[in-house]
Amino acid sequence: MKKFFAVLSFFLLIFSASAASAEYRDNFGNNHEYVLCGMHAGTGWYINRESVNVLLYDPPNYRIAVDVAVVRDAVNGSTKISQTLHNEYRYDWNERKMYRLEKNGEWKYLPPVGDVATLGSSYDGELAFFVAYKMKFYGELYADKNLEFRDELYDRLTNAENY
């Protein structure tokens, strides 16, 4: 019986150590210009803060472009960018709606709440708005309905800026 508990303890120790080491980093490759904006199934998405480009400033209408680095296996510390996305967003402050420009030239509405497949791109759009204007777009209204819009998301940017 002692041997059983010793073996069980050993496996629990190994499992908890490997689970603790598998986590997404707030910054890609310790580069504070790349800030984690999304994660799913081991892949991390990092906005490039320096790439944020205000294309239209006409309150209540805004347009911003941002580059996003896609890192497969980021959860295990990968430092290889597998793809760079150039995303463009349109914001309507009065309606509090965000849209992403699709490859076909159409604007796709990105709701503030929903499933991961629907919301994935709204996080880099949210952070691009925050980098440009130091204001939350969806975050102020929906932090209680969508846990991804909690302060931790914005703190990553603030910490990177102060680095």
Residue-level pLDDT at 76: 82
Rounded Cα–Cα distance for residues 30 and 123 (Å):
20
Print burial letters for 116-141: b (CB count within 10 Å at least 16), e (below 16).
eeebbbbbbbbbbbbbbbeebbbbee
The mean of the pLDDT values for the chain is 78
Poorest-pLDDT segment among 17-26, 87-96, 113-122:
17-26
pTM score over 0.85: no
pLDDT tens sequence across 48-107: 999 999 999 999 999 999 999 998 887 887 778 899 999 999 999 999 999 999 999 999
Distance (Å, whole) CA 21 – CA 36: 17
Residue of higher predicted confidence among 87 and 141: 87
Annotated domain spans of the chain: 2-161
- Among 14-18, 33-37, 56-60, 159-163, the minimum mean pLDDT is found in 14-18
